[in-house]
Amino acid sequence: MLRHYRMFAAYNRWANAQFYAAAAELSDAEFRSDRGAFFGSLHRTLNHLLVADRIWMKRFTGTGEAPTTLDAILFDELDALAAARKAEDERIIAWTDGLDEAALAANFTYVTVVQPTEITQPLAPALAHFFNHQTHHRGQCHMTLTALGKPSLQLDLIYFLRTEGREWM
């Protein structure tokens, strides 16, 4: 499973780079336009992805910033948001690179955000959720771009594996 999670960390960075490149082509009005995604706009959804990743990384590592609401706007401008996203993706990769099988099997405890409850569970299923959550909201980002009439991005894992992710094949 370690190799699998490390592959997902690399894929996450690659997929996020695709979205941020596409977002850079949008007008500010398009970037902020509510197109019916759970968080409305691409601006708000990309912020949510960073918020959630920071919350989970704080839970996983005990370090870093952890916003207290899931809809927090950490960065209003795309350039600052993109820089923070890139740094968080590198942090995720470095952290997954340092994991071992014992860490994946070990329990950890955290408090949920929406309805504060203490949860104790093994790391591996939480890490699976972490990467699945990113994919879920990137799907909403994809919908937002296409609703704006922009080209559809090819984000399937297999495209990553056939290009920049060959080391995982």
- DSSP structure class, residue 167: G
Q: Report the amino acid identity of residue 70.
A: L
The span from the CA of 37 to the CA of 112, in Å, is: 23
129 is an annotated ligand-binding site residue: no
137 assigned to a ligand binding site: yes
Distances (CA, A) of 90 to 70, 73, 97, 119, 153: 22, 21, 10, 27, 22
Answer whether 81's CB lies under 8 Å from 48's CB.
no
- Is 48 annotated in some ligand binding site? yes
Q: Where is the binding site, in residues?
A: 48, 133, 137
Q: Which residues line the annotated binding site for a divalent metal cation? A: 48, 133, 137
